[in-house]
Amino acid sequence: MSGHGGERQLLIPRGSPWWRRMPCFTRGAAFIPALLVSWSSAAFIISYVIAVLAGHVEPLFPYISDTGAKPPESGIFGFMINVSAFLGAVTMYTRYLIVKQQNEVTHFINPYFNLMTLCVGVVGCIGMGIVASFQELAVPAVHDGGALVAFICGALYIVLQTVISYRSRPQWSTPCTCHTRLFLSIMTSVALFPMIACASLITITKIDWNPGEKDYVYHFVSAICEWTVAFGFVFFFLTFIGDFQGVTLRISTEIHENF
């Protein structure tokens, strides 16, 4: 991606011997979704481990937000999820530019559909930022609202990206990639509904749940679905690595003479 006079250009090389020999995560711009996937996975796992070891949550499927509700894990969770939201927005914007340039060659989709998909994804990233910045126990209404926005917009984003993938066949997407994204988008969307439904039936607010307590079944089902949705997002972005391998990002700066 290069800028000249305020314009950005995304270059998709045809491949060269040195490029083919590079590790898959370092080819082209593949490091962007790779970093997003690894960082987000670490954010979930690290905060979970600390919360369990500290005795703040039960080991068996706590809510993701519950693993970042109390210090010291709350600081780590908030920081890492905010970074994940930023990396997610960068990944989505780069994906938008890739599809935009591909579409200029083969005209497989309406440009406004691609733009709408980006907007939906960015709104989901804003929701993630709200989740990270407003702790569950401190501002529960804002936290839950941000989580709802993040999950709904995230699920819609990967569904729309799956549509784009199928429309871009066979020039820009392989059947395996399309089917994998379809499976992940269906799995995520199916898990989203019971997650929201069961969470809405919980009448008490707490993070240290135990079997046999009131509303524990609702909490348990909702938590399982939440983890399914979260890692559905993670694995979906993992499928972007192949697309980003053939992309070169470049940034150039010009200083105008009148300044």
Q: What residue spans define the domains of the chain?
A: 32-239
What pLDDT is attached to residue 24? 64
Predicted model pTM: 0.87
Q: Are 1 and 66 in contact (CB under 8 A)?
A: no
* Burial class, 99, CB count within 10 angstroms (exposed 0-12 / middle 13-18 / buried 19+): buried
Amino acid 259: pLDDT: 65
* pLDDT of amino acid 98: 94
Q: Model confidence over 144-176: pLDDT tens digits?
A: 999 999 999 999 999 999 999 999 999 999 999
Structure tokens at 105: 């060659």
SS3 104: helix
Residue 54 structure tokens: 């500290």
The beta strands (E) that lie in the chain are given as 2-4, 7-9
Q: What is the mean pLDDT of residues 101-114?
A: 95
In tens, the pLDDT along 50-88 reads 999 998 888 888 999 999 888 999 999 999 999 999 999
CA distance 170 to 163: 13
Question: Which DSSP symbol is given to 69?
Answer: S
- Rounded CA-CA distance 107/129 in Å is 34
